[in-house]
Structure 1
């Protein structure tokens, strides 16, 4: 990404619609309700041959106290300071309001470059507003329709000369992110686990119920008040991603909206927020499930953790607000007992206590994340697996339904991230789930894979026999070898 653009303006002028248009995806929440966007959201924008980072901001409101709108304004001003270019949006159909004039003055003082755009400018009804935009003193306004994609060529023409100035800096500073691993990289052994780099940062998602302290925790990790926080539950509505270094490890960290029980998710905006958080879990590598120490392991917490496990992500359980817990030892015993009982599918996953407010326990949390990531990438040699499988069968043979013995012949690991195994056997459809659980629990214990999701598949011999092609090749080689010996023997007799 050669440069960054912050889209700023009053609430409900179409900033998130334009953001989605530039990134080519529905990443930001869009609704007719003003004030939907509350945090800074970043995405990879493209316009013609230009590639840039685009930042969606909260609507600028003329508030300076400690209210929620005022904190949103300060956060947007931070986005203005961060960005290389500010795209100032006004509503062409409404025209220039006093707040537009105030914010134009702020941008003149704080922004490096300002481009003025009159949005919702389709049709003759917007002509007066476009002409009125000249009065802001920011040059000729671009006539845009973010909803219909009109006017983007004019935006491209204004961005092109500015982009050239940032190319050299981008080559030195801008990291390459969200790079997919090749099949070979995914199957590397445990001793060659791919460590996160600036080009391939470790993707971390923080999920939990509303007001568990997710944004506060991320601000503490960042060492900066980058995400909007406050006593109100449900302030975060989008899944916000940020790139940084945590303990020397490059990471991309997602803050998500709080996920409440489905019966309580009534408003359209909150429904969109929950699906946004689910998407963030799917794109993460390690999921931090943040609990409130006062009310841990409620039904929704369990559902969130189970979602992360079903998606095949490494999971870390973090218990927040530990600084205000009075009976820590007794509480920790209760937490561990509840964890083992309620989430057996994640048995052994890291369980750490933190205080997002004070920052205590963040070093332990970072160690737990790296531990979960290492286990998630683990690769076990086929020879080891088959020696282990033989010992497991000897200890507890598989059942014989209707007198037919199920033979487990061969085992290999076919995937990592999370570890996935295939066992070649007879009558795979008759092997009970309890025996598969027996093998999975044995893998966790004997190969030090606590907590990570493990995928175990049973396959019949048939066409899926991994030795089938090798037998054919060996038989052909043997036939050729014997034929050569016979020819040699006949030649010697002659």
Structure 2
């Protein structure tokens, strides 16, 4: 598919960048809050504006801080986004008027090679008129006047962007859901705060794409980045990496913004095919890790578990065996979830992790033929017949696979509403073990014949 033009949104904190981003992509993908500095990493999405299609980047608020501080690292991300964009939208808050930081950003942008479109946001009502007039002094001409929150001024923004991003109608093809083995792997990285999720993604990409640091909870939005894995024996393979906010115990999540971040991380799991639960090897497995794993499996996603910071673990063998035993006990519904060791700091183990993720997706997408499935089914029922509650026999007739991603099966028979969960687990475990589904979530639906006299 041809590359979409890229538009970056820049400005000081709390001028409405994430609100504009959400409006252009048509979804509430970026977190929005009254506090400044909510967005910390670059967030990207496909946008459409009155027929113009482009890639939009929501950046962190530009702050004049030391490069080694968290705001300073956020500023570097903003600069990288502008450098890679075809055009940048410079947002100001027309109600607040022009402040010194706006002037500082304007000086920086005037020296950039990227074309700039000035946007005066929050113009609803008369309170924004003075800010619009003041913005002329920034040196970018008349601003586009709009209200990102209420959708006013969209047509003017279209006219301002069109010269920079307009393409022929047939230049871009609609990206469709691709379930082929060559389709990009949608891989979400989840875990508790400070487990090293952003550091791991940066190591994969070979650049400081995600902001990292010793402060827990730096990542707030779920950020998706396209990447090509070069370590596959099959040649380069495409991966869509999704970095998420750290998930703490619910009782500890009191802040409204953190609640939004955790909800956003859980929402990201819904869009993933495979989820990597990243653990801190220096801390081992905690109950919160098991809760996250349970949530991933409940959503029907394939799960891989990785022990990070393996290079600084004091007793690596003891830690690995302890975590493995705890997983076998804590994730009894799915045995044999892949457990690997990695070091986000050095890159060791990353190729093995991505290889395991692709293998797990293959199992998650696997379909078995009806003949092979029912031959296995007959053997399983013969080896362990279903019980006869109340002396009445449960007759299991046949089984079929109804879907993949995750695998779903329909079991037909009489009195199946009385089939114990233990027997259903026996069948599901057999399907996983003997039919190539591995440690992925498997769903089973019981269905009785329509004829009530059928026995």
The Cα offsets for residues 344-378 of structure 1, whole Å up to 9 and x where unpaired, read as 22311211000011111001101110110111011
Q: How does 1:410-425 map to 2 (within 5 A)?
A: 410-425=398-413
| Counterpart-to-counterpart distance in 2, 1:329 and 1:142 | 61
Query: What residue is the counterpart of 1:267 in the other structure?
Result: 255
Determine if contact 1:196/1:251 at 8 Å carries over to the other structure: no
Q: C-alpha root-mean-square deviation of aligned residues, in Å? A: 1.9
Contact 2:7/2:86 (8 A) holds in 1: yes
Query: Which residue in 2 is equivalent to 1:443?
Result: 431
Measured in 2, the distance between the counterparts of 1:259 and 1:115 equals: 38
Report the Cα offset of residue 403 of structure 1.
0.8
- When Rg is computed on C-alpha atoms for both structures, the one with the higher figure is 1
Q: Tell me if structure 2 keeps the 8 A contact 1:314–1:372.
A: yes
C-alpha separation in 1, matches of 2:358 and 2:138:
51
The DSSP-based 3-state class of the residue aligned with 1:331 is helix
**What is the match of residue 180 of structure 1?**
177
Q: Deviations over 1:167-205 (max 9, x none)?
A: 59x94xx7864x235xxx6xxxxxxxx2133xxx22111
Q: Would the alpha carbon gap of residues 273 and 111 (structure 1) be closer, same or farther in structure 2, given more than 3 Å must change?
A: farther
Match among 90, 93, 106 for residue 92 of structure 2: 90
1:257–1:273 contact (8 Å) kept in structure 2: yes
> What residue is the counterpart of 1:137 in the other structure?
139
- In structure 1, distance between residues paired with 2:229 and 2:433: 29
Sort the Cα spacing of 1:463 and 1:36 in 2 relative to 1 into closer, same or farther, 3 A: farther
Matches of 2:67 and 2:189 in 1, distance apart? 29
TM-score normalized with structure 1 length:
0.87
The residue that corresponds to 1:358 in the other structure is: 346
Whether the 8 Å contact between 1:286 and 1:313 is mirrored in structure 2 is yes
Counterparts in 2 of 1:216-295, with a 5 A limit? 216-247=199-230, 248-295=236-283
SS of match in other structure, 1:131: helix
Unpaired segments of 5 or more residues in structure 1? 186-193, 465-494
Of residues 20, 23, 29, the one that matches 1:21 is 23
Query: How many angstroms apart in 2 are the aligned matches of 1:331 and 1:176?
Result: 47
Mark the runs of 5 or more structure 2 residues left unpaired by the alignment: 231-235
**What is the distance in 2 between the residues matched to 1:205 and 1:81?**
27
Give runs of aligned pairs for residues 320-469 of structure 1, distance below 5 A. 320-462=308-450
Kindly state the Cα deviation for residue 82 of structure 1 after the two structures are TM-superposed. Answer: 1.4
Q: CA deviation at 1:65?
A: 3.2
> 2-side partners of 1:47 and 1:65: how far apart?
35
Name the CA distance, whole Å, in 1 between partners of 2:210 and 2:304: 22
Residue number among 131, 154, 157 corresponding to 2:156 in the alignment = 154
Q: CA deviation at 1:122?
A: 1.6
Question: Paired residue for 2:233?
Answer: none
Give SS of 1:110's match: coil
SS at match of 2:322: helix
Match of 1:206 among 161, 165, 189: 189
Mapping for residues 100-111 of structure 1, pairs under 5 Å: 100-111=102-113
Q: Which one of the candidate residues 41, 44, 51 is aligned to 2:43? A: 41
Post-superposition Cα deviations, 1:88-109, rounded to whole Å, max 9, x if no partner, equal: 0111111111211111121122
- Post-superposition shift, 1:2? 3.1
- 1:333: Cα distance to partner? 1.7
Aligned to 2:81: 79
Q: 2:451 and 2:438 mapped to 1: Cα distance?
A: 33
Aligned mates of 2:135, 2:451 — CA distance in 1: 70
- 8 Å Cα contact 2:396/2:416 also seen in 1: no
Q: Provide the rounded CA distance (Å) in 1 between the counterparts of 2:323 and 2:436.
A: 22
Q: Quick check: 1:349–1:372 contact (8 Å CA) kept in 2?
A: no
Q: Does 1:302 align with 2:290?
A: yes
Q: TM-score, normalised by structure 2?
A: 0.95
Number of residues paired by the alignment? 447
Task: Provide closer, same or farther for how the CA distance between residues 175 and 271 of structure 1 changes in structure 2, counting only shifts above 3 A.
Answer: farther
Could you tell me how far 1:449 is from its partner in structure 2?
A: 2.1
How far, CA to CA, are the matches of 1:273 and 1:135 in structure 2? 37
| Change over 3 Å in CA distance of 1:345–1:296 after alignment to 2 | farther
Q: CA deviation at 1:413?
A: 0.8
Measure, in 2, the Cα distance between the counterparts of 1:328 and 1:159: 55
Counterpart contact for 1:118–1:142, Cα < 8 Å: yes
